[in-house]
Structure 1
Amino acid sequence: MDQHRPNPAREALYEAMRPLHLTPLWEVLHALVPKSPTTACVPALWRYREVKPFLMQSGELITAEEAVRRVLILENPGLPGQSAITQSLYAGLQLILPGEVAPSHRHVQSALRFVVDGRGAYTTVEGERTTMHPGDFIITPSWRWHDHGNEGVDDVTEPVVWLDGLDIPTLRFFDAGFAENDDSKSQTVRHPEGSSYARFGANMAPVRHQRSGLTSPIFSYPYSRTREALYTLERNGEIDAWHGVKMKYINPTTGGWAMPTIGTCMQLLPKGFRGKPHRSTDGTVYCVTEGRGNVQINDQRYTFEPQDVFVAPSWSKVSFDTEQEAVLFSFSDRPIHEALGILREEFLD
């Protein structure tokens, strides 16, 4: 008998047991356990030159202190109202104007900042401040006090924008979110700038260091060092047919990912690169650091330029091609997939 043909007896059974909050598995089994990943997320690209005017307008209408964090959420078109760019990740563009302070708070959600535009802002994490420069990757670990400000640098004061990436949907799934506001607007700076990088950024660690937590003890990864590594490898190493030159940010004390729930990478696509398609179960968010090129995500093709953001949902075929050199920052939920043993990846011809 065709399971989906109208059957009054079955319908009567379903109606009778509904008050007991019972539903038949056989009606939904194929949706719950699909043959391959299915997602409501869709590919999308946000052009920075189109988004920036709205950011600037928001800066005229609400202060950073009023908003706590003045951010425009990059919401996946397939997930309206969920404040999510993938099923497990949140992304937004945050603006801080000269002289402003985004007040100190902490939360269980892990956060990354990738600096997109402008100079002169800073982030303070647990008493250590770092000055933000375009292309820098900065971590706010779970449950650590942090605040942001914009005092200018080298007599330059200008608006600063960075990409926020957080595991908010993941924490929401587990119903495990906590947050707390600080008693003061800004933290007292207790450590000189660059202290964490000096201790852990040279393939060394203090001899009596006791590892605590799962997040890298380096919370600021300068783009100047990342870029140098990428270009050295491009000149002297093998170019991957799918990724170009792609490096992941690591926790130097473990060799694992820099963040426990979010994997972060930087990749260089050489001039004239024609990448082969690949796909993986971790949905990935990209931010263009330098250069221009094209990305094919399933049947969608996008041309990207500096500061654009785009997303490739889970199990999407992704390939890149460039006429000029390009550098892309990316983040995904890959560490969770690896920890649970559910990561699957294909490299196609």
Structure 2
Amino acid sequence: MTTHLPNDQRSQLEDLYREMDPSALTPLWEVLAALVKPEPRPQAIAHRWSYDEARGYLMRAGDLISAEQAERRVLVLENPGIRGQSAITGSLYAGLQLILPGEIAPCHRHTQCALRFVMEGSGAYTTVDGEKAVMNPFDLVLTPNWQWHDHGNPSDKPMIWLDGLDIPTVRIFDTTFSERLDDKVHPETAPAGATLATYGGNLRPFRGSAADRRPAERPLFHYPYVQWRQALTVMAQSAAIDPHLGHALEFTNPADGGPVLPTISAHVRLIPAGFETRPRRATDGAVFVVCEGRGRARIGDTEVELRERDVFVVPCWQSLVLQADEDLVLFAYSDKASQQKLGLYKEESQ
């Protein structure tokens, strides 16, 4: 409450607050300005995580605890503005997961939606409801909410990927459930790559036919780098560049053309060497991975250097400008899907 009050009135109000506090009552007028703000003022801040630094700590953890002991051997990327919440933005989680050669991360499922973006290694897999997606660098793999999933690494090299989940969003509603499968791995239900071959070419089986076995609302869960990078290259060769986004493509759900997960959207961008985007801000908090190239990002008043495999976060309503010293290829995920469903999303370009 910012209005200046006479001392006697303030004293009587404070007496009233003390008396009603045991009844779990509190005056809205004392907190209204903080609850209903003129514009977003997130507690999360702009930040960059060096992949090389994080990888060093992750490999040390690999020497100390197994994937099975940890269930998921992950280093959480905690936003410095909201430490202790296991969150990279107010609504999203991010973590770097390590699976060493020969390891299995046991099968479980949960109400949280998750994506995996591969940072390093080839030949490990994520199994979704009994079908393996064999992963390579910069592949996107989804584990939608309440679908069984486990991970394994039969290769001879470490496998590291970025986990992106809506854990803080689910926490708001107190609706977290999880289950573990009795076996470490899910029984095979289809050959590896069957879903990608069936649903990944802008075609799908006739609904209700014998081949139509994936969930109707979310049939595809593997988006390989070789496909999306080629699409981005072709787009850059023929399409006009957007001054605020560069060349940008959104990942879509082939069932309805919408976002890949109910609460999470994902996209990729190509910023050509020497190009600088114009300022743009949006209400979605976004997590970016540098797939290729070098450059800089100016996020509000914060500027960060960008190197391959580094991760950076752009909080809600923070202006973003990207500068590319070399062709800069970025992957990003955000809570745009949630915000659009709730009628909250807004963007602004300069």
TM class, shorter-chain normalised?
A: over 0.9
Could you tell me which runs of 5 or more consecutive residues in structure 1 were left unpaired when the two chains were aligned.
none
Q: Is the 8 A contact 2:293 2:325 kept in 1?
A: no
Cα distance in 2 for residues equivalent to 1:215 and 1:81: 35
Aligned residue number for residue 80 of structure 1: 83
Cα distance in 1 for residues equivalent to 2:64 and 2:19: 54
Shift of 1:323: 1.4
In the TM superposition, 1:41-60 aligns within 5 A as: 41-60=44-63
Cα distance in 2 for residues equivalent to 1:185 and 1:192: 18
Aligned residue number for residue 186 of structure 1: 185
Aligned residue number for residue 334 of structure 1: 336
Q: Is the 8 A contact 1:214 1:259 kept in 2?
A: no
Aligned residue number for residue 167 of structure 1: 166
Cα distance in 2 for residues equivalent to 1:286 and 1:120: 24
Letter in 1 for 2:27: P
Aligned residue number for residue 311 of structure 1: 313
Helix, strand or coil: the match of 1:148? strand
Aligned residue number for residue 35 of structure 1: 38
Closer, same or farther in 2 for the Cα pair 1:123/1:141, shift >3 Å? same
Aligned residue number for residue 218 of structure 1: 220
Cα distance in 2 for residues equivalent to 1:208 and 1:51: 45
Cα distance in 2 for residues equivalent to 1:142 and 1:40: 27
Q: Is the 8 A contact 1:136 1:220 kept in 2?
A: yes
Q: Normalized against structure 2, the TM-score is what?
A: 0.96
Could you tell me which runs of 5 or more consecutive residues in structure 2 were left unpaired when the two chains were aligned.
none
Closer, same or farther in 2 for the Cα pair 1:331/1:215, shift >3 Å? farther
Q: Is the 8 A contact 1:73 1:83 kept in 2?
A: yes
Query: CA RMSD, aligned part only?
Result: 1.5
Cα distance in 2 for residues equivalent to 1:130 and 1:199: 13
Shift of 1:87: 0.7
Cα distance in 2 for residues equivalent to 1:138 and 1:322: 27
Closer, same or farther in 2 for the Cα pair 1:183/1:327, shift >3 Å? same
Deviations 1:46-99 (A, max 9, x none): 000111110000000000000000000000001111000011100000000000
Deviations 1:198-225 (A, max 9, x none): 2211111111247986853111000000
Greater alpha carbon shift after TM alignment, 181-190 vs 211-220: 211-220
In the TM superposition, 1:1-349 aligns within 5 A as: 3-5=3-5, 6=7, 7-152=10-155, 157-209=156-208, 216-348=218-350
Helix, strand or coil: the match of 2:313? strand
Structure 1 stretches (4+) deviating beyond 2 angstroms? Answer: 1-6, 208-216
Q: Is the 8 A contact 2:125 2:134 kept in 1?
A: yes
Letter in 1 for 2:86: S
Q: Is the 8 A contact 1:84 1:169 kept in 2?
A: yes
Number of residues of Structure 1 aligned to a counterpart in Structure 2: 344
Closer, same or farther in 2 for the Cα pair 1:4/1:213, shift >3 Å? farther
Deviations 1:267-326 (A, max 9, x none): 111111110010011000001111111000000000111110000100001110111101
Shift of 1:10: 1.1
Letter in 1 for 2:282: S
Helix, strand or coil: the match of 1:78? helix
